[in-house]
Amino acid sequence: MFDRQTLYKALFLFVVVVIAYVIQRLASKAVLRILKTGNVPQGSIFVNIIRVIIWALALLMVLEPVFGIQPTAFVAALGVTSVIVSFGLQTTVSNVISGLGLMLGHVIEVGDWIEVGGYQGVVTDITWRATTIKALIGDVIVIPNSVLNTTTLRKLAPLSARTVTIPLDIFPQANMAEVEKEVRSVVEVATKPWRDPRLPIDLIQQGCGQLGFRLDVRVPLVTMDDGFITRSAIVRACSGKSWLAHW
């Protein structure tokens, strides 16, 4: 038979576990409801954090009465362990905190066109550790959230996102007025199936480079999905021209 003290400890442990379970259930539902109204994706991590905190408090409550362990000694030992573990998880923690800021601040959302660290593409997924973007040519790029939080991020407007830019190097001896006229004519024909006819083709001179004059051709598209095929069409159309300094 159990003595009275053992029964008291068992009853106390049972009551604390039941109360903690009820509280975490109610708190989880409340947090999920709040996160849904705030349109925060992947809000389950908040629920898990709340659960961990509640069960940690419940554990501290039963340590001394049930197991005879001083909570202060347990917390001190846990603190030393946490410091050791934190060094190994420093990068992961940084990514998670950065992801939290991105989500709560709605800095970027799925479907946005962004440019960061020399990469440009559409955001396809945002997790707590990294953000995935799909580049124009179809490459999938996974960028740690800590990088997004410390690097200049350019969020492209719809028009900028639907614009393809092709750099051309023109021989210094070429007549730029005639070259621009021919480039515009060639590009208009080559990109007609994908180009937005409501917007003009821009030709921007960027000065002189190692091979000659630098001319950027900017073509507005109906949809960015056609960006790669449009680039290929421009390259084929301009290839072999007498004024072209490369290709």
Helix locations, 38-132, DSSP H = 44-62, 71-88, 90-105
pTM: 0.49
Taking the alpha carbons of 72, 76, 78, 83 in that order, is the dihedral positive or negative?
positive
Bridge partners, residue 195, by sequence = 221
Element (H, E) at 113: strand 113-116
User: For each of the chain's 247 residues, which pLDDT tens digit applies?
Assistant: 557 777 788 888 888 889 988 988 888 888 777 766 655 555 556 677 788 888 888 888 887 777 777 767 666 666 655 555 455 556 666 777 777 777 767 778 878 888 887 787 888 887 777 888 887 667 888 888 888 877 888 887 766 667 888 888 888 888 888 999 999 999 999 999 999 888 889 898 877 766 678 889 989 888 777 778 888 899 899 988 888 886 5
Distance in angstroms (rounded) separating the CA atoms of residues 161 and 195? 13
Q: What is the three-class DSSP state of 132?
A: strand
Smallest Cα–Cα separation from 186: which of 242, 236, 220? 236
Distance in angstroms (rounded) separating the CA atoms of residues 195 and 189? 10
- DSSP state letters, 179-201: HHHHHHHHHHHHTTTTB-TTSPP
Which distant-in-sequence residues (6+ apart) come within 8 Å of 182 by Cβ?
A: 241, 243
